[in-house]
Each structure stands twice: as C-alpha cells, then as structure tokens.
Structure 1
Amino acid sequence: MADWGPVVVAVVLFVLLTPGLLFQIPARGRVVEFGNMHTSGASILVHTIIYFGLITIFTIAIRLHIYAG
C-alpha cells in the first residue's frame, strides 16, 4: 500500500501558501495583503519557511498517513 499522506499535505500546502494567491507576507505596502497576485523575493522566502515548517510538522511530528488501495 502506498502512503499518500505526505503527497496530499504537500499539494494542499503548496496551493494554500502560494505567495499572492490567498495572502502575501510581507506585502509591498503592508505587512499582510490578501489576494493581490503580486510576488516579491522576500515574500517567496517567508512563504518557503512557513511551508517547510508546516510540512515538517504534518509529516514528521504528527505522522500523518493516508493509505490507498
């Protein structure tokens, strides 16, 4: 049986944490902007750190597993 937990978590977090899609930290004029669809280098770095932290928590600390088949 294949473990789909890390794959599902990675895809969902990637979609939710894409800079500018739902929110952007840091934004150009403010700390947080919602739905502006603009991306900066600092925003990519911050979202990458958040993504790494959350995916580590879900796959290693919580040990989320989804088995198919």
Structure 2
Amino acid sequence: MSQDWGPVIIAVVLFILLSPGLLFQLPARSRVVEFGNMNTSGLSILVHSIIFFAILTILVIAVGVHIHTG
C-alpha cells in the first residue's frame, strides 16, 4: 500500500517558513515588511495564514505534488 506524503511534507515546510517573524513579517509593526524580528501580531498571523493556504492549495491541488512511499 502506497502512502502520499507530499501534502504533509509541503504543509510542514510552509508552516515553518511562513511562521510570522521567523523569516519575515507582513505587515510589520513599524513598516510593511520586516525580516527576522521574531515578533508577531494578530494581523500578521491572518496574512501569513492566507499566504500559507494559497501556496499549499496551489502546490497540492493545481501542481499536484506527490511523494509516495511503500
């Protein structure tokens, strides 16, 4: 039986990369974009969630990334 790990791996990587304040924060507290400030706000969490969902949807459904094991 083959299992599809593509969506799981993509979701984990995107979750790590798109954590607000880790690499960038959009919108930031004092500017539009800040890099590596390790701060967050409710609005930046909402924006990063929308970006995460959009990229995940494009990669999993439109592009169809699959990683099969077994």
- Identity, % of aligned pairs? 68
CA RMSD of superposed structures (Å): 0.4
Q: Write the letter of the residue equivalent to 1:26.
A: P
The 5-angstrom pairing of residues 1-69 of structure 1 reads 1-69=2-70
CA deviation after TM superposition for structure 1 residue 46, in Å = 0.2
Please list every run of at least 4 consecutive aligned residues from structure 1 whose deviation after the TM superposition is greater than 3 angstroms. Answer: none
Deviations 1:27-50 (A, max 9, x none): 000000000000100000000000
Gaps of 5+ in 2: none
Helix, strand or coil at the partner of 2:11: helix
Gaps of 5+ in 1: none
Using structure 1 for the length normalisation, give the TM-score.
0.98
CA deviation after TM superposition for structure 1 residue 68, in Å = 1.3
Q: Write the letter of the residue equivalent to 1:54.
A: I
Using structure 2 for the length normalisation, give the TM-score.
0.97
Q: Write the letter of the residue equivalent to 2:54.
A: G
Inter-partner Cα distance in structure 2 for 1:50 and 1:21: 15
User: How many residues get paired?
Assistant: 69
Inter-partner Cα distance in structure 1 for 2:11 and 2:53: 10
